Amino acid sequence: MHADGFWTVVFLNEALGLRSGWRFVLYVAVFLVIVSATGAVLSMFVGGAPLDGMTVLWLNAAVFAPPAVLTLAFMVRFVDRVPVLAFGVGFHERWPRDLGAGVALAVLMLGTLAGVHALTGQLEVRASGEPPAAAVAVMLVLLVPAANEELIFRGYPLQVLMKGIGPWPAMIVMSALFGLGHYTNPNATWLGTANTFLAGILLCLAYVRTRSLWFPYGIHIGWNLGLGPVFGFPLSGFELSSIWMSEAGGPDWMTGGAYGPEAGLLVTGVMCAALIAVAVTRRVTVSPMVDSLLARHADAVYRRESAAGG
C-alpha cells in the first residue's frame, strides 16, 4: 500500500472524514488546552482563598463552561461540519417535554429515596433557618455545572464514541470517567463513585433514548436541586444552603454518611430502578427534527437507535 493510502486508512473513514477515535482524541486535546488556560486565568484571581461549597460551585461553572462550549463549537464547525443539534445540543420541537420528563423522573427518584427513609422512621426534616435567597442562589448556580457535565460527558464525546465502538461500550467509558471525576470530591467513597457511574449510565441512556441533552439535563438538575438546596442533604460531598435540612439515620453504607445519599446503597437501588424506567418507557422518543439530522449526517453520527424512536 502506498504511504499516502496507509495514512488515509489510519485517519479517515469511508466518507473521507476523520475517524471517530481521532475525533475523540482531538476533542479531549482541545478541551484540555482550553480548560488549562481557563484554570490558569482564574487562579490569578482566586489564589489561596478558602473554598466553601458555594465557591466550588462558582469555580466549577467558570472553569468548565468555556471549554465545554468552545470545544464543541470547534469540533462541529471545523472538524465535522455538522449542525450542533445532531449532537443533542439545541432546541427542537420536543425539548420542553423531554426536559419536563427528566425533572419528573428526578422528583420520583427523590420521593422514593425520602419515602423509604421516612417509612423506616429514620428521616428528620426541619427548616434550615437560612434566607430563602441563599437556596435560590445555589439552585441557579447548580444549573451551570449540570449543563457543563452534560456537554462534556453526554454530548459530543459520547456521540463520537457511539459511532466508533457502539452505544453500550461508549456509555460505559463515559460513565466511568463521570464517576471517577467525582472521586476527588470531599468525603468521596468507592460506593459513591459506583453510584455516580450508575448515574452516568442513566443519563447516557436518557440521551440515547432521545438523542437530545434535554432529557438527561432534566434528570440531572432535578436530582441536584432537589437533593441539595431543597432537601438539604450533602450533594456529592458538599454542604450547601438549602430550604430544609434533612438527616437520615442508619449506617453510612446505607445513607452515604458525610458524602450524602449518593454514597449509600439506597441510592444504588434508586438508580437501578430509574435505569429500568428509562429503558422501557414509551413516553420519550427521538424528535423528527433530530432524527432527520441524524439521517442526513449518518456518516459522522450514530443513528441506529433513533430509527426505532429511541
pLDDT in tens, 166-197: 999 999 999 999 999 999 999 999 999 999 99
Query: Would you say 197 and 210 are in contact if contact means Cβ atoms under 8 Å apart?
Result: no
**Residue 50: per-residue pLDDT:** 65
Q: Is 113 domain-assigned?
A: yes
H or E stretch covering 125: strand 123-127
| Upper half-sphere CA count for residue 165 (Cβ side, 13 Å) | 14
The amino acid sitting at 266 is L
Q: Is 263 domain-assigned?
A: yes
Contacts of 284 (CB under 8 A, 6+ apart): 97, 98, 101, 206, 209, 210, 215, 278, 310
Closest-CA residue to 28 (of 162, 156, 180): 156
Q: Could you tell me where the DSSP H helices lie in 18-166?
A: 20-46, 53-74, 95-119, 132-153, 156-165
Q: Is 4 domain-assigned?
A: no
Residue with cell string 437560612: 130
Q: Is 258 domain-assigned?
A: yes
What is the CA angle 181-184-189, rounded to 5?
100
Count of domains for the chain = 1
Number of helices (H) and strands (E), helices first, in the chain? 12, 2
Domain that holds residue 146: 9-308
Q: Is 42 domain-assigned?
A: yes
Count the helix, strand and coil residues of the chain and give each as a percent rounded to the nearest 5: 70, 5, 25
What gap in Å lies between CA 275 and CA 190, rounded to an integer? Answer: 20
Contacts of 7 (CB under 8 A, 6+ apart): none
pTM above 0.85, yes or no: yes
**Cα 308 to Cα 89, 201, 284, 285, 290, distances in angstroms:** 21, 20, 12, 9, 13
Closest-CA residue to 224 (of 150, 118, 152, 153): 150
Report residue 244: phi and psi, to 5°.
-115, 165
Q: pLDDT below 50 — which residues of the chain?
A: 1, 3, 6, 306-310
pLDDT in tens, 59-116: 888 999 999 999 999 999 999 999 999 999 999 999 999 999 999 999 999 999 999 9
What gap in Å lies between CA 154 and CA 175, rounded to an integer? Answer: 9
Burial label, 100 (beta-carbon count in 10 A; 0-12, 13-18, 19+) = middle
**Residue 299: per-residue pLDDT:** 86
Q: Is 3 domain-assigned?
A: no
**Residue 55: per-residue pLDDT:** 79
Q: Is 1 domain-assigned?
A: no
**Residue 58: per-residue pLDDT:** 86
**Residue 306: per-residue pLDDT:** 42
Closest-CA residue to 219 (of 115, 99, 125): 99
